[in-house]
Structure 1
Amino acid sequence: MRAPTSSLRRRAAPWALALAAAFAPLSASALFSDDEARRAILELRARLDEQARARQTEQAQLTEQIQQLRRSLLEATTAMEALRGEIAQLRGRDEQLARDVAEVQRRQRDISQGVEERIRKLEPQKVSLDGKEFLVEADEKRQYEEAVALLRNGDFPAASSAFSALLKRYPASGYADAARFWLGNALYGRRDYAGAIASFRGFVSGAPEHPRAPEALLAIANCQIEMKDSRSARRTLEELLKTYPKSEAAQAGRDRMAALK
C-alpha cells in the first residue's frame, strides 16, 4: 500500500507546481489592480473633498451675502421708517404753518379793517344840516351829536358845556351856526338869560339868512321878558317883525308884543 501512495505523490507534484505557476501571475495582477483602485478612490476622495471645500466656501460667501442683504434691508427699513417720521413731521409742520398763515392773514384783515375804519373816521364826512351841506371831521360830528342829545335829554348844563367846547375846538365848523343857536337854548334852560342872549345874538349876526334866525330873535325877546326888561324885549320883537315878517316866529312875536302892551 505504501508504494502506491508514494507513486501518487510523485505523480501529483508536477501538477501542483504547474498549478502554482499558473496562479502566480494571477495574484500579481490582482495586487496591481487594487493599488490603482486605491489611487482612484483617493483621487475621488480628494476631488470630493475639494468640491466640498468649494461648496463650503461658496456657502459661506452666500451666507455672508445673505447677511449683508439682511443688514442692507434692515438699514433700508430703518431709513424708510425715519423718512416716514420726517414726512409726518413735515406734514405736521405744514399744517401748523398753514394754520399760522391763516391766522396771520386773519389778523392782517382785522388790522386792515381797523386801519380803514380809523381812516374813515379821520376822513372828512359830508353832512347836511338846515339846508346846507358841508364837510366835518368824524370827531367834530360826534361831538355835535352828543351835545344835541344832551340838550334833548334836558341836561342843560352838560349840553351848554358840550356846545361851548365844540365852538372852541372848531370855531369855523359848519356846525358853528347851529351850535350857537342850541347853546342859546341850553343857556336859556339853565336860566342864564344873559348868556343865552349873547349866544343868540352871535348866531343872528353870523347867519342872518339861517332858517332859525327868526326863532333866535324871538328867544332873545323871551329872555328879556324873563329879565323884566320889557323895553328891550319890545325892540327885539320889532326887529323880528321888520326883518322876518312872514316867519312863524314873527306871528308869535306879534302875540308877545300885544301881551307887553
Structure 2
Amino acid sequence: MNVLIKSRTFLATAAATSLLFFSTTASAFADDEARRAILELREQVRQMTEQNQQARLQLADRIETLQQEVASLRGQIERMRFELDVKDGRGLGLNQDTPQVSNPQEQAAFDQAMNFFRAGQYQEAAESFGTFANNYPNSQLSADARFYRGSSLYASKSFGPAVTELQAMEQNHPEHARAPDALLIVAAAQIEQNNLSGARDTLQRIVEKYPQSNAAQTAQERLKLLQ
C-alpha cells in the first residue's frame, strides 16, 4: 500500500515537473518569437523611414529643378519683352526726353552709343556708354549713360555686371526718371541668375520707393508671378 502511494506521488511530481518544464520552454519560445517579431517590425519601420526620407529629398530636388526652369523661362520672356520694347520704343524711358548738352563732342559720343543701342548692337553700346561715362564723368547725361550701359549689359546676357551698373545708377540718381526702370531690369537680371529672392526684394523696393511710377504697376504684376 505504501509502495503504491509512493509510486503515485512520484508520478504526480514527475508530471508536475514536466508540465512546468514544458510551460517554461513554451514561454521562452514565445518570448523569442515575440522578440524576433519586434526586431523585424523595427527593421521594417527603419526601412520605410529611410525610403520616405529619400522620396522627400527627391521630391525637394525635383521641385527646386522645376522652380529653376520656371525662373529661366520667366527670364527669357523678360529679355524678349525688353528687346521688343527697345525696337518699338516702349518702356525703358526711351520716350522720355534726354537732356541735350552744349559740348558737341560730348553729345555726339552719347548719340553714337544710343544708335548702337537702338540697333540692337548691345556689346558695342555697352562699350560706348562705358567710354562716355569715363570721358565725361560730370556730364548731365551721366545717369542716362549708366542706365543704358546696364541695359546693354543685360541684353548681352552679362547679368552680373548689369545688376551692378543699374543698382549703382539707381542709388546715385534716385530722382532720375529712369531709376524705377533700372530696378525693373535689375529684377529681370536676378531672375536670369535664379536669384528669385533678390528679384522679389528689388520689385518690392520699386513698389515702396516709386509707388506712382509705371514701373511700380509692372513690379506688382511680376511679384504675383514670383509668389
Query: Which TM-score band applies after superposition, normalised by the shorter structure?
Result: 0.5 to 0.7
**Greater radius of gyration (CA):** 1
Counterparts of 1:143 and 1:222, CA distance in 2: 28
Counterparts of 1:252 and 1:150, CA distance in 2: 27
Question: Partner letter of residue 208 of structure 1?
Answer: P
Q: Is 1:213–2:185 an aligned residue pair?
A: no
Number of equivalent positions: 133
Normalised by the size of structure 2, how large is the TM-score? 0.56
Partner of 2:146: 180
Normalised by the size of structure 1, how large is the TM-score? 0.49
Question: Per-residue CA shift, 1:74-115, capped at 9, x if unaligned?
Answer: xxxxxxxxxxxxxxxxxxxxxxxxxxxxxxxxxxxxxxxxxx
Q: 1:206 to 1:136 in 2, by over 3 A?
A: farther
Structure number with the bigger relative contact order (C-alpha 8 A, sep ≥ 6) is: 2
Counterparts of 2:136 and 2:226, CA distance in 1: 39
CA RMSD in angstroms comes to 1.7
Q: Is 1:230–2:196 an aligned residue pair?
A: yes
Where does the alignment leave 5 or more consecutive residues of structure 2 unmatched?
1-94
Q: 1:140 aligns with which of 106, 110, 117?
A: 106
Question: Per-residue CA shift, 1:169-195, capped at 9, x if unaligned?
Answer: 111111100000000110011000111
Distance apart, 1:134 and its partner CA: 6.3
Counterparts of 2:217 and 2:106, CA distance in 1: 35
Tell me the SS of whatever aligns to 2:176: coil
Structure 1 stretches of 4+ moved >2 Å? 129-136
Contact 1:193 1:223 in 2 (8 A): yes
Contact 1:214 1:240 in 2 (8 A): yes
Counterparts of 1:132 and 1:159, CA distance in 2: 17
The within-5 A match list for 1:11-160 is 135-160=101-126
Distance apart, 1:137 and its partner CA: 1.5
Question: Partner letter of residue 169 of structure 2?
Answer: F
Q: 2:211 aligns with which of 226, 240, 245?
A: 245
Q: 1:168 to 1:228 in 2, by over 3 A?
A: same
Where does the alignment leave 5 or more consecutive residues of structure 1 unmatched?
1-128
Counterparts of 1:134 and 1:248, CA distance in 2: 25
Question: Per-residue CA shift, 1:184-243, capped at 9, x if unaligned?
Answer: 110011000111111111211121111111111111111101110000011111111000
